[in-house]
Amino acid sequence: MSSSENNQQQEAITIEQTEVNKCPSCGGNALFEPTTGTLKCPFCGSEKDIEHTQHNTIEHDFLQALEQEDHSWDDEKRVFRCENCGAETLLDKNKVADFCSFCGSSHISTSEHHAGIKPALVIPFQISKDEAIIKFKGWIKKRYFAPSQLKKSYTLDTLSGAYIPYWTFDSQTTSAYTVRIGTYYYVTETRTVIEDGKPVQVTEQVRHTSWRTESGRYYEFFDDVLVKASSNVADGLITHIEPFSLSKLVDYKTEYLSGFLAERYSIPLKEGWHDAKGIIDSRITNGIYGQVHGDEVRIVNVSTDYTAITYKHLLLPIWISSFQFNNKIYRFLVNGQTGKVSGKSPVSAVKVTFVVILIIAIISIIWFFVETS
């Protein structure tokens, strides 16, 4: 195929996908509406239903994916890179990025990077922008240690809806382990103590531990171990708005992304598996502790074989923004499915000091009554 024919084919794909989101009534660009789960035209208000399907729950072979590059998403999206924080976002071929949703910078340039592996599944936004702002205002009112003037003096920055990439991994595991098992036994021992200045013989039961070494095998199948594929959203913030209800996953369709951003995964598939393996190994350790019985158990060694490794690429919805207070910027996130909020906020030194003094005073009063009773 010649380059001109290839360009024509790409343009045809772009036009076809743009037509999918076109309002049938006025021809405007329809946007996904979280509250109704439909495509809604911002110009005439007409709505178009989206068929929610779940056909793409199939697993993909992990080792095969490592051997061949997948650029299937390039047909729909192009990559924009923030020169300030390095985040890469994906927009439709006919869209332009104005600012970075992750740091607010306007230093955005088109990237030659491939969009990468196309997601199979997505949880569409269920919390609208207006609802996200209401959730944020409720959250900020509960910042008890924040300065009193915060609730009246903060400035809310632009709120952006973004789909954050995740990986899920499945694997069958077989673990060979060696453990030390301790069993308690008691011995009657006599020792001498001093009472009223005189030596006295005291008999007591003293606990000892008998140790033995055992080896065994532990088997477990791990299903849908979820790991974040983004390094641009702080772990501390995103962890506090989890979990997502993965039972609500539906097949990826361009309609769900209309009006929203999608982040290109910055943690590639191989690194994602490394993170998932850490979670799996921790669960295997807990499983071995549960399988081996003894008064004390110490794991000496574990060697695990991981087979039938498969993966899925998901997009999960998050509202991203920040607010300014006293010339400082504080980031926050809102879960686009549940509305749960997580963020950083200023702390009042006066309020913290008052609480510390109050706690010390209460402890002192309790100690006084205990000593005098």
- State the Cα–Cα distance between residues 120 and 339, nearest whole angstrom: 24
304, part of any domain: no
Show the CA angle centred on residue 107, arms to residues 104 and 108, nearest 5°: 95
Name which of 72-76, 161-165, 245-249 the model is least confident about.
72-76
Both tokens of residue 42?
């911002």
How many domains, the chain? 1
Whole-number pLDDT of residue 12: 40
Pick the range with the lowest mean pLDDT from 161-165, 189-193, 231-235. 231-235
Q: Which two tokens stand for residue 171?
A: 């694997």
Domain-embedded: residue 91: yes
222 band by pLDDT with thresholds 50, 70 and 90: very high
Mean pLDDT across the chain, nearest whole number? 85
User: Counting beta carbons within 10 angstroms of the beta carbon of residue 73, is it exposed (0 to 12), middle (13 to 18) or buried (19 or more)?
Assistant: buried
- Work out the end-to-end distance of the chain between its first and last CA atoms, rounded to an integer number of angstroms: 94
Q: Is the pLDDT of residue 90 over 90?
A: no
The reply to whether 158 falls in a domain is yes
Higher pLDDT among residues 249 and 154, named by residue: 249
349 closest CA partner among 156, 148, 155, 141: 148
Residues 316, 166: contact at Cβ < 8 Å? yes
The domain in which residue 159 lies consists of: 3-165+222-279+310-352
> How does residue 274 score in pLDDT terms, banded at 50, 70 and 90?
very high
Q: How far is CA 48 from CA 18, 131, 192, in A?
A: 15, 22, 88
- The answer as to whether 147 is a domain residue is yes
**17-56 per-position pLDDT tens digit:** 445 677 777 877 888 999 999 988 888 888 889 988 888 8
Of 93 and 139, more confident? 139
pLDDT tens digits for range 290-305: 999 999 999 999 999 9
297 within domain boundaries? no
Query: Distance between CA 371 and CA 106 in Å, rounded?
Result: 65
Cα separation, 79 vs 264, whole angstroms = 8
Q: Is residue 211 part of a domain?
A: no
Confidence of residue 76 (pLDDT cuts 50, 70, 90): confident
Determine the pLDDT at residue 291.
94
Residue 254 belongs to a domain: yes
11 part of a folded domain: yes
Q: Which uninterrupted H or E stretch holds 190?
A: strand 160-195
What is the Cα–Cα distance from 339 to 336, expressed in whole angstroms? 6
**Banded pLDDT at 339 (limits 50, 70, 90):** very high
- The stretch 227-239 carries a mean pLDDT of 85
